[in-house]
Amino acid sequence: MPREAERDPFTRLVQKMDPQSTLLSYRELKGGVSAQVTLLEVRTAEGQLKKMIVRRHGEMDRQQNPRIAADEFRLLQVLRSAEVRVPAPLYLDDTGESFPEPCLVIEFIDGTSDVRELTMPEFLPQMTEHLLQIHQIASLEHDCSFLPSITALIGKKLAKRPELVDDSLDEGRIRDVLEAVWPLPQVNQNRLLHGDYWPGNLLWKDGMLVAILDWEDAAIGDPLADVANARLELLWAFGVEAMQAFTALYQKQAGSLDFAQLPYWDLVAALRPANQLSGWGLEPHIEKSMRERHRWFVDQAITKLPGR
């Protein structure tokens, strides 16, 4: 390879992984918000062509957790041992020799996050089943003690109101409710949480869910946190019917899980896009629809709060 290629950070990374492998090409993948995602094509010493993904977490995530790449690598190992459908972790480089920031190399899995060609009876049961599988993982059975508490993370967020409250997304109203009750009394056993479970983080192929991606927001806590996030995302993407169908499927299979606090977790999910939605680069009509559905989501949660 030319000397310019030898100085390329992706070439250095591949050679650190295996000095006998050769980097053939790389390209940035679109759609990453919290991390830079790059697809590599590599020829191994045996002449095989392999694809792999390099993930470099954004500055904000690294400031909140300087070990975010190492934690995600470790979590993927845990998930693979529990037979959750996630990409295999291949390599962690936190030496600064390839890139200034740590990077994570994971298996490339062929698939699409676009479920528009599938019907709700095809994708919702699988989406629910795999979330339930994640929530079966308890920290006592698989060491997830390195992950943060979702209750503590939300408490930290609620402790500091922004100078400009996003009233266009009911931020003030949401915070008023949550600040008065946080932390919630614990009624459900702490479980592993994906932290951002929605259709965009699921890969599908031939009608089957083949991988669950993007675990940088993983935490430990009440499974209802994931349920609420998925509810809002399904409402945004597919409407009330999809949200309610998913909720009913999950509740039916969740056994003794207590759903009384779901309205509070709905409000936690609704707080996430505050002061962010307008920066997502959405088409005006899509943003308008999402804002209208968000308002409905907040209203239904507040109506269902205990004592209302």
Reported as a single tens digit per residue, the pLDDT across 60-90 is 888 888 899 999 999 999 999 999 999 999 9
CATH of domain 120-303: 3.90.1200.10
Domain range 3-107, CATH class = alpha beta
- pLDDT surpasses 50 at 6: no
Tell me the mean pLDDT in the region 275-297. 95
Q: How far apart are CA 240 and CA 246, in angstroms?
A: 10
> What share of the chain in percent tops pLDDT 90?
82
pLDDT exceeds cutoff 80 at 22: yes
Q: Is the pLDDT of residue 140 over 60?
A: no
- Give the mean pLDDT of 263-290: 96
For 214, 215, 277, the CA distances from 86, given in Å and listed in that order, are 9, 9, 28
- Cα-based torsion angle of the residue sequence 207, 208, 211, 214 in order, rounded to the nearest 10 degrees: 50
**Does residue 166 have a pLDDT over 80?**
yes
pTM of the entire structure? 0.93
DSSP alpha helix (H) spans, the chain: 3-6, 9-17, 59-64, 68-81, 120-135, 150-159, 171-181, 224-238, 240-253, 262-271, 284-303
Per-residue pLDDT tens digits for 105-128:
999 999 999 998 889 999 999 999
What is the domain partition of the chain in residue ranges? 3-107, 120-303
Query: What pLDDT does residue 31 have?
Result: 57
